[in-house]
Structure 1
Amino acid sequence: MSMPEFFATPGYGETQLANMHYNQAVRIGDRIETSGQGGWDDDWNFPESLEDEIVQAFDNVERTLALAGATWRDVIHVNSYHIPDSPHFIGEVHNRVMVEQFRKRMGDRAPIWTETGVQALGAPKMRIEIRVTAIVGHHN
């Protein structure tokens, strides 16, 4: 059995490791799991636009996967957590931008996906958090 190898994304990941005592990803063999990635920059700032925040969260997943040796094309499972637009619907922008980013980053291949509306996330300005599972080299 392969030993777990942990990764702290340069910038925000190193800050979170020092301040909150967690890593951004773990790799065991060809399997990579990420912590939830938000739409922050390295100084923990969030974009004003929800669309920009979602795209930044996808970029942060990409950075973290790359550090562990994977890409979005290796992703098989996505969990996304959203502050909903209303109590009964996550919202058009959330869904539209998530799907646009899946298609842009993964092409024709589609992962399994669980989208969950939540009341709060880990930082006051967060509206989106994405965590993924990847299997390195499984795609064509």
Structure 2
Amino acid sequence: MNAQNLKRQSINPPPTQVFYDNFHFSQATRVGDMIWVSGQVGIDAAMTPGKDMEEQAQLAFQALKSVLEAAGASLADVVELMTFHTDLRGDMPAFTQVKDHYFPDRYPSWTAVGISQLALPELRVEIRAIAVAGCGDA
């Protein structure tokens, strides 16, 4: 790899620029083919959390997909998921059903962690990921 391929890129799709400006973090960072995606939560365009785990998981996975696309990758390129749940045992069946819709095969590594709170009191799940651009095509 040459130095150009190792240049660090901040990925912030236009709808998420407010997070970069106000909270000083990128939605993703890409170096070469590696992409580290910050935690994505279940909020809609109006910053309103989904009403239940299923809706929040759908919104969070859609946000993950959008950030990956802005970084030049896709969900197929995800090699690791880490999810944070405020009700790990209670919400796992609904979450897993949504996750399996977005990852129907070639499952990435996955760690699920139970936590006491997220950034907003209504949030139930946060999803972060690591991807390798282009590896899903292989």
TM-score w.r.t. the length of structure 2 is 0.89
Question: What code does the residue aligned with 2:70 have?
Answer: L
Q: Which residue of 2 aligns with 1:87?
A: none
Quote the Cα distance in structure 2 between the aligned partners of 1:97 and 1:138.
Answer: 28
Quote the Cα distance in structure 2 between the aligned partners of 1:103 and 1:49.
Answer: 17
Q: Which residue of 2 aligns with 1:130?
A: 127
Quote the Cα distance in structure 2 between the aligned partners of 1:125 and 1:103.
Answer: 23
**Structure 1 or 2: larger helix share?**
2
Show CA shifts across 1:76-111 (max 9, x none): 000000101xxxxx134x323333333322332011
Q: Displacement of 1:7 after TM fit?
A: 1.1
Is the 2:54–2:95 contact (alpha carbons within 8 Å) kept by the matching residues of 1?
no
DSSP-derived class of the 1:104 partner: helix
User: Where do residues 30-45 of structure 1 align in structure 2 (5 Å cutoff)?
Assistant: 30-45=33-48
Hey, which bits of structure 1, 4+ residues long, moved more than 6 A? Answer: none
Q: Which residue of 2 aligns with 1:46?
A: 49
Q: Displacement of 1:37 after TM fit?
A: 0.3
Show CA shifts across 1:37-78 (max 9, x none): 000112211111221011111111001111001111000000
Show CA shifts across 1:94-138 (max 9, x none): 323333333322332011111001001112221110000001111
What residue ranges of structure 1 are gaps of 5+ in the alignment? Answer: 85-89
Identity, in percent, stands at: 29
Question: What code does the residue aligned with 1:31 have?
Answer: M
Question: What code does the residue aligned with 1:3 have?
Answer: K
Q: Which residue of 1 aligns with 2:80?
A: 77
5, 9, 13: which one pairs with 1:5?
9
Quote the Cα distance in structure 1 between the aligned partners of 2:131 and 2:38.
Answer: 12
User: Where do residues 88-127 of structure 1 align in structure 2 (5 Å cutoff)?
Assistant: 90-92=88-90, 94-127=91-124
TM-score w.r.t. the length of structure 1 is 0.87
Quote the Cα distance in structure 1 between the aligned partners of 2:121 and 2:13.
Answer: 21
Question: What code does the residue aligned with 1:54 have?
Answer: A
What residue ranges of structure 2 are gaps of 5+ in the alignment? Answer: none
13, 20, 24: which one pairs with 1:21?
24
